[in-house]
Amino acid sequence: MPLFLFVSDLHGSASRYAALEREIARVRPRVVLLGGDLLPHFASIDPVEYVEEDLAPLFRRLRNGLGEDYPEVGLVLGNDDTRLAEAPLKRIEEEEGLWVYLHRRRVEMAGWPVFGYNCVPPTPFQLKDFERFDVSRYLDPGCLAPEEGLLTVEVPLYDLRFGTIMADLEELVGEEDLRGALLLMHSPPYRTALDRAALDGQKIEMVPLELNVGSLAIRRLVEARHPRVGLHGHIHESPRITGAWREILGGTHLFSAAHDGAELALILFDPGHPEQAERLLVPA
């Protein structure tokens, strides 16, 4: 049975990537999926150099060492990543086949269709390369609209103002039956055990902040179309606050690989038996 390894929110940590490399070599999964926020902070590095000089060499070492056991690798980026990383990711995919960049794509991996998506609803943070309005132009208190923040690649203003995660997902999945599909999406669905932020008691102009900060569009997609598995990250503290890294929503098994401890969190699962998934916290 195919074994999938899911990881997210490495944020360019050399020690976490070293732990990931060791675990892939040890576990030898058939598929490795990376769920976004993969690079160091965008102001601290050249993202093109990071992909070319750090990320690609890691997967080349794995391919050289594992040979025929080298897994299929799929990845998305997250809201802390910059769109400047897309060009080297796509070029290395085309030239070397080290990975598949899955944002707004459907790709079969080990016989299972995987749909990828980077974007999250608006946050208070400045970088807006992978932030979109969710289902409307509503903004939670304290958040910045996509057109009000920093973009590293030019995007049409109309798209920034009126594009939504909901419309993107409708275009992505079309009319396909999702009951046998996997969603690899950086944002978790709204109001689950996976999207609980540590905002208790905080207010903006006397208005309490929303404690659940996931995507309503992703939740609606899961509830309406019942994909087999949802793979998410983004809210590091949520598993600690809720005590849960998994949830079942409308029959869909949702997993989070986000983690705010010192370890690297890995999710190992077989899409045919998602109820048997396990979470490993690996020293990093």
pLDDT tens digits along 85-122 = 999 999 999 999 999 999 999 999 999 999 999 999 99
* Residue 269: per-residue pLDDT: 98
**CB neighbours of 145 closer than 8 A, spacing ≥ 6?**
122, 133, 137, 139, 160, 161
The span from the CA of 80 to the CA of 78, in Å, is 5
CA triple 195-4-110, angle to 5 deg: 125
The span from the CA of 107 to the CA of 98, in Å, is 15
User: pTM for the complete prediction?
Assistant: 0.97
* Residue 1: per-residue pLDDT: 45
pLDDT tens over the chain, length 284 residues: 469 999 999 999 999 999 999 999 999 999 999 999 999 998 889 999 999 999 999 999 999 999 999 999 999 999 999 999 999 999 999 999 999 999 999 999 999 999 999 999 999 999 999 999 999 999 999 999 999 999 999 999 999 999 999 999 999 999 999 999 999 999 999 999 999 999 999 999 888 999 999 999 999 999 999 999 999 999 999 999 999 999 999 999 999 999 999 999 999 999 999 999 999 999 99
The span from the CA of 245 to the CA of 219, in Å, is 16
H helix intervals, 131-231: 157-162, 165-173, 216-225
| Domains delineated in the chain | 4-282 (3.60.21.10)
| Distance, C-alpha 272 to centroid of its chain | 21
CB 247 within 8 A of CB 254: yes
Neighbours of 103 (CB within 10 A): 22
* Residue 2: per-residue pLDDT: 61
